[in-house]
């Protein structure tokens, strides 16, 4: 089945002249086409790659970012009627020997999207600085909550394979062109109920330095993650469907907010007068907070078990 599938690789290229040829040379033989998307960097793509019959070079008119460049590759692969697309970076920090492991779950129809999971590399985790480890863990949790894929880890991993027939159903305008690309892509896949497989693989770090510190990323991403989360909840539980989790949210949110806000007001009002709050007031605040919190926990539990799961 592997040899019968038309598998393409999309490589967003930006100032990686010293790495790109090595990346292409290491790609497995079963790859049908290699789309290299030149994203208007200062370093042109080496001419020697034009001699490779599998290589198709796409030139962007303006710099679109890694996500924008990858989407241009997606569009070309869709037009060429490929079956599976694998996204590989041009900086040679992805072990392309794992491409077969990425595409196999898609070929076996166990999932529609497969990505690397670097957190299963325990040696790399052990040597990873504590702040980087905490930053990655926090960011992964926030992305889980925002996208709804609670069962998958390392969601921002840019080494992935995706079915073309699934990509056709996505609105590319909702997928970010830059740092938020992988997260926004997964968020769109959720509405297609696409199953995601995690493929354990080692983390590879060369001498390049990231443009953003990992511990800062959750805070930089937070506004977008919150928007993604709200959009997903509204669409999933109030537009596309209405179920018990919708009821939990409709009752739980106002009850919890009422108890929390009224509790703060009550504490301020009675403490400023230096008197004890009435027992009934305390009970009202306590019960609404507890009841609202319990209903929200039920909604979260339902959301977790609703997450699309890949076949074993």
User: Quick one: average pLDDT of 97-103?
Assistant: 95
208 part of a folded domain: yes
191 part of a folded domain: yes
% residues pLDDT > 70 (the chain): 91
What pTM was computed for the model?
Answer: 0.88
Tell me, yes or no, whether 200 and 291 share the same domain: no
**Residue finishing a domain among 212, 234, 255:** 212
User: Could you tell me the pLDDT band of residue 288, with boundaries at 50, 70 and 90?
Assistant: very high
Structure tokens at 292: 């609202």
231 part of a folded domain: no
100 part of a folded domain: yes
In terms of residue numbers, what domain contains 272?
242-306
Tell me, yes or no, whether 284 and 186 share the same domain: no
Tell me, yes or no, whether 178 and 246 share the same domain: no
In sequence order, the β-bridge partners of residue 161 are 86, 114
User: Quick one: average pLDDT of 92-110?
Assistant: 94
Tell me, yes or no, whether 72 and 174 share the same domain: yes
Residue 269, C-beta contacts closer than 8 angstroms, at least 6 positions apart = none
Length of the chain: 312
Q: Tell me, what's the pLDDT at 191?
A: 95
Q: Tell me, what's the pLDDT at 209?
A: 46
Q: Tell me, what's the pLDDT at 239?
A: 95
Mean pLDDT of the chain: 90
Tell me, yes or no, whether 109 and 187 share the same domain: yes
Judged by phi (left if over 0) then psi (alpha if -120 to 50, else beta), residue 274 lies in left
Q: How far apart are CA 224 and CA 208, in angstroms?
A: 26
23 part of a folded domain: yes
User: Quick one: average pLDDT of 270-283?
Assistant: 91
User: Quick one: average pLDDT of 50-55?
Assistant: 93
Tell me, yes or no, whether 250 and 161 share the same domain: no
Q: What is the tens place of the pLDDT at every residue in 10-27?
A: 999 999 999 999 999 999
User: Could you tell me the pLDDT band of residue 136, with boundaries at 50, 70 and 90?
Assistant: confident
236 part of a folded domain: no
% residues pLDDT > 90 (the chain): 76
- How many angstroms separate the Cα of 70 from the Cα of each of 16, 119, 124, 161, 253? 15, 24, 28, 12, 39
User: Could you tell me the pLDDT band of residue 157, with boundaries at 50, 70 and 90?
Assistant: confident
Domain harbouring 54, CATH code = 3.90.550.10
Tell me, yes or no, whether 185 and 247 share the same domain: no
Tell me, yes or no, whether 162 and 280 share the same domain: no
User: Could you tell me the pLDDT band of residue 121, with boundaries at 50, 70 and 90?
Assistant: low
Tell me, yes or no, whether 80 and 188 share the same domain: yes
User: Could you tell me the pLDDT band of residue 118, with boundaries at 50, 70 and 90?
Assistant: confident
Counted domains in the chain? 2
203 part of a folded domain: yes
105 part of a folded domain: yes
């Amino acid at each position: 089945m592997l040899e019968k599938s038309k598998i393409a690789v999309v490589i967003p290229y930006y100032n990686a002249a010293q790495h790109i040829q090595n990346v292409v040379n290491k790609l497995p033989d079963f790859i049908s086409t290699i789309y290299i998307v030149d994203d208007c960097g200062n370093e042109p793509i080496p001419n020697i790659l034009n001699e490779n019959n599998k290589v198709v070079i796409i030139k962007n008119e303006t710099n679109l970012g890694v996500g924008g460049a990858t989407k241009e590759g997606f569009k070309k692969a869709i037009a060429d009627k490929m079956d599976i697309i694998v996204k590989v970076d041009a900086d040679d920090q992805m072990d392309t020997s794992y491409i077969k492991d990425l595409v196999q779950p898609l070929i076996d129809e166990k999932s529609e999207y497969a990505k690397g999971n670097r957190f299963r590399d325990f040696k790399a985790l052990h040597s990873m600085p504590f702040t980087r480890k905490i930053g990655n863990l926090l960011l992964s949790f926030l992305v889980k909550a925002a996208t709804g894929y609670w069962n998958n880890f390392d969601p921002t991993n840019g080494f992935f394979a995706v079915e073309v027939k699934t990509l056709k159903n996505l609105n590319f305008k909702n997928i970010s062109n830059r740092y938020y690309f992988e997260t926004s892509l997964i968020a769109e896949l959720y509405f297609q109920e696409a199953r995601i497989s995690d493929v354990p693989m080692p983390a590879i770090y060369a001498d390049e330095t990231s443009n953003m510190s990992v511990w800062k990323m959750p805070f930089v991403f937070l506004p977008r993650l919150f928007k993604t989360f709200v959009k997903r909840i509204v669409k999933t539980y109030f537009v596309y469907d209405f179920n018990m989790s919708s009821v939990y949210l409709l009752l739980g949110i106002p009850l919890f907010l009422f108890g929390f806000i009224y509790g703060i007001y009550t504490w301020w009002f009675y403490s400023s007068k230096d008197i004890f709050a009435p027992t009934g007031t305390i009970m009202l605040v306590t019960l609404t907070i507890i009841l609202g919190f319990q209903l929200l926990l039920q909604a979260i539990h339902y959301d977790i078990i609703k997450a699309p799961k890949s076949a074993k």
